[in-house]
Amino acid sequence: MNARSLSMDRFRVNRSMVLALIFIIQIAVTSLLVPGYFDIRGLLDATRSFSEAGLIALGMTLVIITGGIDLSVGALLALVSVTIGFSYQAGLPLWAASMAGVGVGTLGGLFNGAFITYFRLHPLVVTLGTFALFRGIAYAVSDANAVSGFPDWFSLFGQTTLGWFPLQFLFLCLFVVIFWVVLSRCAFGRYVYAVGHNEVAARFAGISTNSVLLAVYTLNGFLVGLAGLIYTSRIASARGNAGLGLELTVIAMVVLGGTKITGGSGTIVGTMMGILILSYLQDGLTFAGVRADWGLIFIGVFLILGVFVNQVFRERSR
């Protein structure tokens, strides 16, 4: 292992420790300001509200590491939810409607990836277009209406608790482990980093960069599909306005966790810390009675702060 690799390893460890310390301080301060906030059962129950965003943040981590971006995730989640609800209302068995919803999410990611890879279009332009496309279809299909009245078993995905642990949080933890293994222990993970670091060099090294990018965006769409299924189950309703502003929250989680916005570096552990910090910040503000629009301000501040801190860390690691 060369000196640069050792330096990068130290950087990752130190950053993870800093993020963990920030999270601990954040919980401690919130507990002092909001009496009774520090309750294990309550903190675990709060994971219900951010597990969907957390799942999508895992896929977004891979997307950003490759040097891309996906602005369509919130709109695609709405389309997934509408697909589940309105296909069930049309007479499709709910299990089949649920599979159709996850399939729509996967196809949406594949659609993004195909235009980015085979037509060589910039991810920002493609996903900005599909942001409007997916949201427009969701609104057109739902006609501003909502579907509810699902069978009791459908609540399994978004309302079930195993002991003190919400089931969707256990799903998130499972996918965190899977993605950590993929990025840090598998050849595909090395290909993802290589594409983000230098796509041309990766292509000359024999890596099928188109296949890697297509797989990354398709996987991201699949996670949006799962998140859309959990979201619809959690609120027991399907509507076209689901996921509004979700893309900003997800990107902020990933960037705050240390993923370089221009690609080439990032970790799943860092993303998980970004998920926890930003989610419990929003949760604490809600408990403190702070208006929701202030929460949006804090997301913007943390997004800018994350980019700034990442740059400082990288300059110090050189």
CATH of the domain at 164: 1.10.3470.10
For residue 298, is it within any domain?
no
Return the pLDDT at 14.
65
Angle between helical axes of 187-197 and 209-235 (0-180°, round to 10): 110
Angle between helical axes of 246-256 and 51-65 (0-180°, round to 10): 60
Better-scored residue on pLDDT, 130 or 14: 130
Better-scored residue on pLDDT, 292 or 249: 249
For residue 210, is it within any domain?
yes
Return the pLDDT at 299.
73
For residue 116, is it within any domain?
yes
Q: Of 307, 271, 273, 298, which is closest to residue 57 (Cα–Cα)?
A: 271
Does pLDDT of 10 surpass 60?
A: no
For residue 261, is it within any domain?
no
Q: What are the pLDDT digits (tens) for 121-154? A: 999 999 999 999 999 999 999 988 899 999 999 9
Is the alpha carbon torsion for 196, 70, 170, 35 positive or negative?
positive
How far from 222 is each of 111, 166, 213, 282, CA to CA, in Å?
Answer: 12, 21, 14, 26
Rounded to an integer, what distance in angstroms lies between the CA atom of residue 205 and that of residue 225? 33
Segment 265-278 shows an average pLDDT of 93
Does pLDDT of 310 surpass 80?
A: no
Rounded to an integer, what distance in angstroms lies between the CA atom of residue 128 and that of residue 113? 13
pLDDT band of 30, cuts 50, 70, 90? confident
Rounded to an integer, what distance in angstroms lies between the CA atom of residue 234 and that of residue 82? 14
pLDDT band of 318, cuts 50, 70, 90? low
* Number of structural domains the chain divides into: 1
For residue 256, is it within any domain?
no
pTM (two decimals): 0.91
Return the pLDDT at 8.
47
Rounded to an integer, what distance in angstroms lies between the CA atom of residue 304 and that of residue 46? 25
Share of the chain above pLDDT 90, in %: 68
Please give the residue range of the domain that contains residue 210. 42-244
Segment 2-21 shows an average pLDDT of 60
For residue 267, is it within any domain?
no
How far from 67 is each of 116, 130, 198, 220, CA to CA, in Å?
Answer: 12, 18, 9, 14
For residue 80, is it within any domain?
yes
Written as six digits, the tokens of 168 are: 């969707």
Return the pLDDT at 315.
63
For residue 265, is it within any domain?
no
Q: What are the pLDDT digits (tens) for 235-270? A: 999 999 999 989 999 999 999 898 998 999 999 999
Does pLDDT of 9 surpass 60?
A: no
